[in-house]
Structure 1
């Protein structure tokens, strides 16, 4: 594959990239509504100042044993969320083992129907 630099300025209706390496790319002041990213390595991705209402993020992590890129020796590196508003969001069938919440507002947070703020308040009594 020939490596080239592409610069897009002003309006661009649609970009389709397949089998592409976009390492070290940056996007600023862009609208990327309805973007689909699949089968991608997004390691060290940084998203800052974005609106992601209605976003669906799924199948995130290392490939499972059936995937051609599966490597049992590789471990998923931690993901970090800072200054995010996840009010009324839903996490379904996510592995949250060893997750830490620090300085977070947990009012109304429930896990499998159990109100965590009330559980913590009761445990302090």
Structure 2
């Protein structure tokens, strides 16, 4: 298939409702845009950079997130389904604090990991207050170098 090559520049334009199919769109630059309710299916987004974005109510399904870095993120109400998180790093992931735009004084739905393989993972300097671990394989699980299995066995 031979592709038609066009370099497009839009400023102060409304392209809402546009459709792109079987399009090569590498090295695009979006600055100060509204992509609300945009759907992206079967896309190669390797090496994509997102900065200062509102991704509230976003859904990520059937995704390969190998090696991604998520920094300074608010994960309240996030849902990730059927994703591969090999080598993924989450840093400074917090609940909103008073004064933040999406702060909720009534609290937040608990963060949950269901049917996840976190083997050989690491949690460092995390707030695990009231964490509830249920029906999990804890073989080899250590907290500050102490095997949890041994603590339970010696209880």
TM-score range, shorter chain: 0.5 to 0.7
Give the CA deviation at 1:59: 2.0
Q: Does 1:47 align with 2:79?
A: no
- Quote the Cα distance in structure 1 between the aligned partners of 2:34 and 2:110: 23
Asked if the contact 1:106/1:117 (under 8 Å) is kept, the reply is: yes
Give the CA deviation at 1:15: 4.2
1:87 to 92, 113, 119: 119
Unaligned 5+ segments in structure 1 are none
Count of matched residue pairs:
122
Structure with higher Rg: it is: 2
| Higher fraction of strand | 2
Give the CA deviation at 1:3: 7.8
In the other structure, the counterpart of 1:4 is 16
**TM-score, length-scaled by structure 1:** 0.68
2:92 to 56, 59, 73: 59
- Quote the Cα distance in structure 2 between the aligned partners of 1:98 and 1:3: 47
Q: Does 1:77 align with 2:90?
A: no
Give the CA deviation at 1:68: 6.0
RMSD over aligned Cα atoms: 3.1
Unaligned 5+ segments in structure 2 are 1-11, 64-83
